[in-house]
C-alpha cells in the first residue's frame, strides 16, 4: 500500500471536519432560538409598558365631560386604571384622585385638574365649605380656587400640583388626565417614579 505524500489529508479527515463544523452551526442555531425566545419573554413587560404609555399618551380616562358640571366648582374624582407590575396586570385599580373644575369660555369647555395630595406633607386636600377654595386639614394650608397658596395661611412649599388635561379628548366629550404623584415637602414639583 502506497503512503500519501506529506501535506495531503485523507478524505475521511476532511469529511470529519465538515461534519464537525456543520454540527457546530446547527447546534448554535438550535441553542440561539430558545435563548432569543426566553429573552423576549423576559423583556416583554418593558415592551408592554412602553406600548401602553404611547397608546394614550399617558392620559387616563377619569369621567365623561357630561359628568362634570360647568359651574366652576371643583369636584373630586378617583383615578381608576389598569395597574401593570412586571407580568401581573390588575384591572380597574384606584391609583389616586384628582380635583376637576370645569368652566365655560364662550362655547369652549376649560377643565383644570389638580392632584388631591397636599404638596406639604402628603395629606389629602378638601374643598372648603364655600365649594370653591381648597384646604388641607393636616396643617391648615389654604389654597385659592386656582390652586395657588394663600399667603400667610399656608405652610405648603408650593401651589397645588396641577395635572395636564387632554384637550383632544375634551373635544370628544371625555376628561382624560395625565395622572402622577409628586414628592411632598419640596419647592420643586418632582414626579414620584
Q: What b/e readout covers 12-27, taking b as 16+ CB neighbours within 10 angstroms? A: eeeeeeeeeeeeeeee
| Domain around 119 | 60-178
Kindly state whether residues 27 and 40 are assigned to the same domain.
yes
Instruction: For residue 192, tell me if it sits in a domain.
Output: no
Question: Coil, helix or strand for 63?
Answer: strand
pTM for the model stands at 0.68
If you ran DSSP here, which 8-state letter would residue 108 be given?
A: E
Kindly state whether residues 74 and 129 are assigned to the same domain.
yes
Residues listed for the chain: 193
Tens of pLDDT along the chain (193 residues) come to 455 555 565 667 888 888 888 899 998 888 888 888 888 887 777 666 555 544 456 899 999 999 998 888 899 999 998 887 767 778 888 889 999 999 888 888 889 999 999 999 889 999 988 888 999 988 888 999 999 998 887 888 999 999 999 999 988 999 999 999 999 988 888 888 6
60-64 and 174-178: which strand pairing? antiparallel
Taking the C-alpha atoms of residue 110 and residue 79, their distance in angstroms, rounded to an integer, is 19
Q: How many CA atoms lie within 13 A of 96 on its CB side?
A: 22
Kindly state whether residues 122 and 152 are assigned to the same domain.
yes
Amino acid at each position: 500500500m502506497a503512503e500519501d505524500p506529506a501535506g495531503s489529508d485523507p478524505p475521511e479527515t476532511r469529511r470529519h471536519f465538515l461534519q464537525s463544523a456543520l454540527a457546530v452551526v446547527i447546534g448554535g442555531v438550535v441553542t440561539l432560538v430558545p435563548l432569543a425566545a426566553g429573552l423576549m419573554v423576559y423583556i416583554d413587560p418593558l415592551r408592554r409598558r412602553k406600548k401602553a404609555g404611547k397608546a394614550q399618551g399617558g392620559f387616563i380616562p377619569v369621567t365623561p365631560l357630561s359628568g362634570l358640571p360647568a359651574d366652576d366648582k371643583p369636584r373630586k374624582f378617583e383615578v381608576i386604571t389598569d395597574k401593570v407590575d412586571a407580568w401581573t396586570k390588575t384591572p380597574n385599580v384606584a391609583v389616586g384622585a384628582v380635583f376637576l373644575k370645569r368652566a365655560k369660555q364662550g362655547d369652549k369647555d376649560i377643565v383644570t385638574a389638580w392632584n388631591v395630595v397636599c404638596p406639604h406633607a402628603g395629606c389629602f386636600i378638601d374643598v372648603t365649605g364655600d365649594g370653591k377654595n381648597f384646604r388641607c386639614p393636616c396643617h391648615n394650608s389654604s389654597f385659592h380656587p386656582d390652586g395657588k397658596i394663600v399667603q400667610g395661611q399656608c405652610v405648603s412649599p408650593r401651589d397645588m400640583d396641577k395635572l395636564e388635561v387632554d384637550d383632544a379628548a375634551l373635544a370628544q366629550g371625555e376628561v382624560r388626565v395625565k395622572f402622577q404623584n409628586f414628592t411632598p415637602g419640596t419647592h420643586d414639583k418632582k414626579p414620584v417614579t
